[in-house]
Amino acid sequence: MSLFAKFDAAESTRNLLNSLPVNPTAVVIERVVSASEAIVGGRPTIMAGTNNYLGLTFDPDAIRAGQAALADAGTGTTGSRMANGTYQGHLDLETELADFFEVPHAMVFSTGYAANLGTLAALLGPGDAVLLDSEAHASLFDGCRMSGADIYRFPHNDAQGLAKRLRRLGERARHALIVVEGLYSIRGDCAPLKEFADVKAEYGGYLFIDEAHSLGLYGDGGRGLAEAAGVLSQTDFIVGTFSKSLGSIGGFCVSRHAELELFQYASRPYIFTASPCPSVIATTRAALAQLRARPELRIQVWRNAERLYSALSGLQLNLGPHVSPVIGVSFDDRDVALLCWQGLLDRGVYTNLILPPAAPEGGSLIRCSVTAAHSDAQIDTIVQAFTEVCREHGGSNTV
C-alpha cells in the first residue's frame, strides 16, 4: 500500500466540502471587530461559535498586560521549561491557579491539548488501567493511547456503566484512572460528576476531570463543574485550557497530590515543548483575575444561554439535554445540516458545523457557543436566522 493511500478518505471529504458554496473548514475571519463580531465574507457577522465564553478576548486589562510583557520580555521563550523556558510569569500563573482551585500544586502547559497529553502520559503507563468516557475529547483519548495503558471505554455519562467496568477490573480498580469531562463541547451536556465520585468512592481509583469548557462557567467561584457538583475534594486531577473562558492559549493541571510536581521529569509533551510566550502568560493571568473579580460575566453568559436555548427549543429543534453556553442542534440529515449552516452564515451568523464521525450518534450538528459579550439584539438575530433557515429547508420536522 502506498504511504499516501490513507489520505484517500480525507481527499473525498475535502472534495465534498469544496463542492459546497462555502467550505465550512475554510471560512476566513477577515477582521475581528469585537469579542462577538467579525467580518466574514466581507460583511459583519455575529460570532456564535468561538468558545469565548466570558468575552475576554478584548478585555483592556488583558491587552495591556500582554503588550507590556511583549515590551519587557520579548516575543517568545525559545525553549522548553526544562531548558531555558521557565520565566517568573509561568511560576506566578501556577501559583495563582493553585490558589484559585484551593490546591497546593499546579502545572502550566503550552496548549490545552498538551496539558491532556502531558498529564496522562505522566500518570499512565503499560499495565495501568484507565476508564474513559466514550465521548471524551480526542486529546484525552490520544493521551491514554500514547501512554500504553489498558483503555476501557464506558458509555457516555453512564455512572452504572463505569461501575460495571470497575467491578470487572477487580483489584486493579483501586489504582485505575477515571477520565471524564465536565461540560462536553459538542452537545453541551454535563457529566454526572457526583455519581462518578460516588462510584470512585465505592470501587477506588483516581478521578481526572477535564474542565476545558466548564472553567469560568460553573460553581460559585467559577472553578468548573466539579465545584458546582461539590466534588472538588474528591477530584484528584483537574485539567483545563486557557483558550476558552480565558481568551488566550495554553493549558494546566492542578492537583492536591504532590506527585504533580514530578510530572515535569516524566511528561514528554512538557519536557520537549517550548513554554508559552510571556505575552500569553500575561494575558492569561489578567483574564484569570477578571474571572475571579467579575462574577457578573458568568451571570451574563447564563442569561444569554437560557435566552437562546429557550428560543431554539421553541422552534422544536433537537437540542442537547442541558441548558448551557454550548448549544448543539442535531440533524439526522447531513445535507439539511449543511444547508442550514450555509443559510445561517448567509444571514451573518457564524456557527460550527460538525459532521460524522465527529458528531455523536452518526448524525450532524450545528454548534453554537454563547458568550457574555453577546447582546440581546445579537441573540435575537441568531434566533431569527435559525427560524428562517429551518422554514426554508423543511422546518423543524427535518431536524
Tell me the mean pLDDT in the region 384-396: 84
List, for residues 42-51, the tens digit of each pLDDT value: 999 999 999 9
What three-state secondary structure class fits 183? strand
Are domains 5-58+295-398 and 77-276 of this chain identical in fold?
no
List, for residues 145-174, the tens digit of each pLDDT value: 999 999 999 999 999 999 999 999 999 999
| Residue in the block written with cell 469560568 | 216
The C-alpha atoms of residue 250 and residue 284 are separated, in whole angstroms, by 9
Residue ranges of domains in the chain: 5-58+295-398, 77-276
Mean pLDDT of the chain: 95
Tell me the mean pLDDT in the region 359-381: 93
- What is the per-residue pLDDT for 397? 42
**pLDDT of 399 higher than 60:** no
List, for residues 213-265, the tens digit of each pLDDT value: 999 999 999 999 999 999 999 999 999 999 999 999 999 999 999 999 999 99
Task: 165-170: list long-range contacts, CB under 8 Å, 24+ apart.
Answer: 165/131, 166/131, 166/199, 166/203, 166/204, 166/205, 167/203, 169/129
Tell me the mean pLDDT in the region 75-103: 97
The C-alpha atoms of residue 181 and residue 186 are separated, in whole angstroms, by 12
What fold characterizes domain 77-276?
Answer: Aspartate Aminotransferase; domain 2 (3.40.640)
Q: Which helix (H) or strand (E) holds 326?
A: strand 326-331
Q: How open is the CA angle 331-309-301, to the nearest 5 degrees? A: 130
Highest-confidence range of 6-15, 23-32, 386-395, by mean pLDDT?
Answer: 23-32
List beta partners, residue 328.
367
List, for residues 114-145, the tens digit of each pLDDT value: 999 999 999 999 999 999 999 999 999 999 99
What three-state secondary structure class fits 264? helix
Q: Which residues contact 180 (CB under 8 A, 6 or more apart)?
A: 133, 136, 191, 193, 196, 207, 208, 209, 210
In the chain, the percentage of residues whose pLDDT exceeds 90 is 89
**pLDDT of 201 higher than 70:** yes
Instruction: Specify the amino acid at residue 335.
Output: D
Tell me how far apart the terminal alpha carbons of the chain are, to the nearest angstrom: 41
- What is the per-residue pLDDT for 394? 61
Q: List, edge to edge, every strand of the sheet that includes 150-154.
A: 105-109, 251-255, 237-241, 206-210, 177-181, 129-133, 150-154
The C-alpha atoms of residue 97 and residue 58 are separated, in whole angstroms, by 22
- What is the per-residue pLDDT for 356? 77
The answer to whether domain 5-58+295-398 has CATH 3.90.1150.10 is: yes
**pLDDT of 315 higher than 80:** yes
| Residue in the block written with cell 490513507 | 6
- What is the per-residue pLDDT for 1? 78
